[in-house]
């Protein structure tokens, strides 16, 4: 890494998930970009409040599944029909019905890999360090806290943002600064 | 959701108390994380000691088998498959309930799965690990087990993809992998909760490592929700396919007693039957010990007993149909197997034990008193586990020991090595399970909190609707 790039967030805690979702929506209507909510479980209406496009996980899963299917069919056909002909009691060399089970299993396996690695890739995980962890209070986000993070240019005065968040019902607001990856 | 459950006690769509109503997020945390942070009690250590001793038996049995060869087992000609395959099928069957509880109930939006799914999935993983051990040893030269996979070997040969045994290899390894992924994905938010409530630096580091830096971000939840649902959707056909393929190991052959088209559904029903019984067996003591009565309520247990009753009846239907077809086909070999050998032959005791445990026992759950009495259901669940083990024994051993030619009949008796490996896998399972209970939240915390919120909303709407 060359020069340190600083990353700064205004973190606001809210009392209930509903207030958080409301506040998020209103902040976005005010024109704030790149915000993020933090909560111990998925928020009802959270994705809409953040204005997220539909998730791409299903598409990745489909690609994985199709890859698995094609892999399985071509593997079995090539191995048992072309490369190493096994004549078992004169049965046809290209016996597709016998390949259904493995084709199915590999389709599922590759789709599952697609889902898992798709999820990790789209969420940029594993990411052991993130600026928001600079705040010790923020630790409650995984157990009982509802937080909104607003990205903010480091070194600038955040008073205006803090006031707006407080007006929307935040119980506490802090500014955290850390290194960007 | 207009009226309360009290008005419609039988309407399955009404919200009910799946989580004791006096909890909020904070107290749920304390209740559910408590057993991880507490020092385990005497009971845990005693059970752990017991499981470790049994695990020792496994080590002895496996070492002896590897050193001396398969000859130390009771397997012979004609009974080439015995304890190795019986236990494999039995363990895989137990594993299936976990996936069913997790995946199928999630797809059916059955809210009551939330408290027990983590528990059941862990059971799946450990049961499949135990199951996987048996076919490996059964190959006789487990150090060449990789020959089963299509890798470009110097032998210049490829696996025979028309063989159910090769299908089995793919099915079991896929099942183990997907179950592990499903379990881990469900675990990530809870690992983050553990990380953030850790007491020491070491705990925070270890849990933090496994939590992958999860911070409950809305952008991540957005992908997470759909990913979890899709994994559940994939697991559902996977469960059915895996046990179907296990049943193909038998059904594709021509042996009387194996050569039956009913095998796939009959095996799947049997798997769910034994699996749910195993969940009851484990969850009753665990719930008491972990203090999870508020989350795993009596309703959960009652629902599971209903599933045991339903699948038990399906299994009974399978027996009935096997016997009917044996008579209806007028095939003398089939007739001999079902009406003479199994009911009156050398293994008749095991057969009648199976009938008692699998056909008679589940019917007690017609009575609400039995469905809701914890001691009765616990004993019944153990009976079901024994019954299903007997079923695998009967299917495999009786069919092999007396097939077409009386001149090639033979008797099978298990040796001490067979027994020690079997008891040893119970120990392996117990050890892993106790470690899981100690280090990982046994209940999916984030899901329970979400459910709690939903229930509160529903209750709120109800009270407003009443005004």
Which residue of B106, B162, B242, B446 to mutate against A (max A Cβ within 10 Å)? B162
Q: In the structure, what pLDDT confidence band is assigned to residue B328 with cuts at 50, 70 and 90? A: very high
Q: In the structure, what pLDDT confidence band is assigned to residue B465 with cuts at 50, 70 and 90? A: low
Q: Looking at the predicted structure, is the pLDDT value of residue B75 above 50?
A: yes
What is the nearest CA distance from A157 to chain B, expressed in angstroms?
25
pLDDT score for B146: 87
pLDDT score for B50: 92
Burial of B65 (0-12, 13-18, 19+ CB in 10 A): buried
Residues of chain A scoring pLDDT < 50: 1
What is the nearest CA distance from A20 to chain B, expressed in angstroms?
11
Instruction: Kindly report the number of other CB atoms within 10 A of residue B286's CB atom.
Output: 17
Contact A108 B238 (CB under 8 A): yes
Contact A112 B177 (CB under 8 A): yes
Q: Looking at the predicted structure, is the pLDDT value of residue B301 above 50?
A: yes
The dihedral of CA B117, B119, B124, B125: what is its sign?
positive
In tens, the pLDDT along B25-53 reads 677 777 777 777 777 778 788 889 999 99
* B368/B115 Cα distance (integer angstroms): 22
Instruction: Kindly report the number of other CB atoms within 10 A of residue B451's CB atom.
Output: 21
Average pLDDT in chain B: 86
- Nearest C-alpha in A relative to B220: A123
pLDDT score for B14: 46
User: How is the beta sheet containing A172-179 ordered, strand by strand?
Assistant: A36-38, A146-152, A6-14, A172-179
The arithmetic mean of pLDDT across residues B6-34, rounded, is: 59
In tens, the pLDDT along B380-397 reads 999 999 999 999 999 999
Cβ–Cβ < 8 Å for B290, B437: yes
pLDDT score for B247: 92
pLDDT score for A106: 94
Hey, is the C-beta of B26 within 8 angstroms of any chain A C-beta? yes
Q: Looking at the predicted structure, is the pLDDT value of residue B118 above 70?
A: yes
Contact B215 A80 (CB under 8 A): no
Contact B450 A128 (CB under 8 A): no
Whether the model pTM is above 0.85:
yes
* Contact map slice: A 60-89 vs B, CB within 8 A: 61, 75-76, 79-80, 83-84, 86, 88
Contacts with A37 from chain B: Cβ below 8 Å: 217-218
Count of CA atoms in the C-beta half-sphere (13 A) of A107? 16
| Span of B348-352, B361-365, B436-440 with lowest mean pLDDT | B436-440
Contacts with A98 from chain B: Cβ below 8 Å: 161-162
What's A129's DSSP letter? -
**SS3 for A75?**
helix
Contact A98 B227 (CB under 8 A): no
Contacts with B221 from chain A: Cβ below 8 Å: 39, 41-43, 46-47
Q: Looking at the predicted structure, is the pLDDT value of residue B277 above 70?
A: yes
Using CB atoms, pick whichever of B174, B192, B447 lies closest to residue A142: B192
What is the nearest CA distance from B33 to chain A, expressed in angstroms?
10
Q: What is the dihedral of CA B179, B180, B186, B191, to 10 degrees?
A: 160
Contacts with B238 from chain A: Cβ below 8 Å: 105, 108
pLDDT score for A117: 94
Burial of A44 (0-12, 13-18, 19+ CB in 10 A): middle
Q: Looking at the predicted structure, is the pLDDT value of residue B21 above 70?
A: no
What is the nearest CA distance from B234 to chain A, expressed in angstroms?
6
Hey, is the C-beta of B176 within 8 angstroms of any chain A C-beta? no
* Contact map slice: B 231-270 vs A, CB within 8 A: 231, 234, 237-238, 241, 245, 248
């Amino acid at each position: 890494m060359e020069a340190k790039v600083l990353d700064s967030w205004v973190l606001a805690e809210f009392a209930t998930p509903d207030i958080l979702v409301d506040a998020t929506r209103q902040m976005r209507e005010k024109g704030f970009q790149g915000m993020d909510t933090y909560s111990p479980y998925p928020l009802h209406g959270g994705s809409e409040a953040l204005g997220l496009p539909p998730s791409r996980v299903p598409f990745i899963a489909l690609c994985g599944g199709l890859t698995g299917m094609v892999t399985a069919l071509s593997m079995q056909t090539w191995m048992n029909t072309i490369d190493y002909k096994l004549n078992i009691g004169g049965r046809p060399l290209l016996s597709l019905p016998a390949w259904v089970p493995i084709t199915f299993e590999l389709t599922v396996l590759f789709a599952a890999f697609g889902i898992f690695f798709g999820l990790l890739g789209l969420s940029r995980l594993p990411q052991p360090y993130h600026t928001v962890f600079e705040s010790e209070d923020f630790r409650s986000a995984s157990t009982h806290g509802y937080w909104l993070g607003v990205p903010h240019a480091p070194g600038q005065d955040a008073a205006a943002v803090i006031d707006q968040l407080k007006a929307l019902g935040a119980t506490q607001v802090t500014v955290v600064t850390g290194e960007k990856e | 959701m207009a009226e309360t459950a009290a008005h419609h006690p039988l309407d399955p769509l009404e919200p009910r108390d799946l989580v004791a109503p006096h909890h909020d997020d904070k107290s749920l945390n304390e209740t559910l994380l408590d057993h991880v942070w507490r020092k385990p009690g005497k009971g845990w250590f005693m059970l752990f000691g017991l499981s470790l001793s049994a695990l020792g038996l496994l080590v002895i049995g496996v070492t002896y088998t590897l050193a001396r060869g398969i000859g130390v087992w009771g397997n012979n000609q004609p009974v080439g498959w015995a304890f190795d395959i019986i236990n494999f099928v039995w363990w895989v069957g137990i594993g299936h309930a976990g996936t069913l509880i997790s995946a199928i109930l999630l797809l059916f939006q059955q809210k009551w799965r939330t408290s027990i799914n983590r528990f059941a999935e862990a059971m799946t993983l450990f049961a499949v690990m135990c199951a996987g051990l048996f076919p490996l040893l059964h190959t006789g030269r487990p150090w060449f087990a990789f020959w089963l996979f299509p890798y470009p070997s110097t032998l210049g040969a490829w696996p025979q993809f028309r063989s159910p045994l090769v299908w089995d290899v793919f099915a079991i390894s896929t099942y183990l992998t997907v179950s592990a992924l499903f379990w881990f994905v469900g675990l990530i938010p809870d690992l983050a909760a553990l990380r953030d409530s850790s007491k020491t630096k070491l705990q925070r580091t270890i849990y933090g490592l496994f939590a992958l830096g999860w911070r409950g971000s809305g952008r991540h939840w957005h992908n997470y929700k759909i990913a979890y649902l899709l994994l559940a959707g994939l697991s559902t056909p996977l469960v059915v396919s895996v046990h179907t393929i296990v049943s193909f190991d038998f059904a594709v052959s021509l042996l009387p007693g194996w050569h039956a088209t009913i095998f796939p559904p009959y095996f799947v029903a049997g798997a769910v039957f034994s699996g749910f019984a195993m969940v009851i067996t484990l969850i009753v003591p665990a719930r008491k010990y972990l203090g999870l009565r508020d989350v795993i309520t009596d309703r959960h247990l009652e629902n599971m007993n209903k599933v045991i009753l339903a699948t038990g009846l399906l299994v009974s239907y399978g027996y009935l149909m096997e016997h009917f077809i044996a008579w209806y086909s007028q095939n003398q070999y089939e007739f001999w197997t079902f009406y003479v050998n199994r009911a009156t032959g050398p293994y008749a005791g095991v057969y009648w034990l199976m009938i008692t445990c699998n056909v008679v026992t589940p019917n007690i759950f017609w009575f609400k008193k039995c469905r809701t009495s914890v001691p009765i259901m616990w004993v019944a669940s153990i009976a079901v586990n024994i019954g299903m083990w007997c079923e695998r024994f009967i299917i495999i051993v009786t069919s092999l020991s007396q097939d077409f030619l009386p001149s090639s009949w033979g008797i099978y008796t298990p040796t001490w090595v067979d027994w020690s490996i079997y008891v040893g896998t119970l120990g392996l399972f117990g050890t892993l399970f106790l470690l899981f209970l100690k280090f990982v939240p046994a209940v999916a915390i984030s899901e329970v909190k979400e459910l709690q919120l939903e229930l509160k909303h529903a209750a709120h709407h109800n009270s407003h609707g009443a005004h």
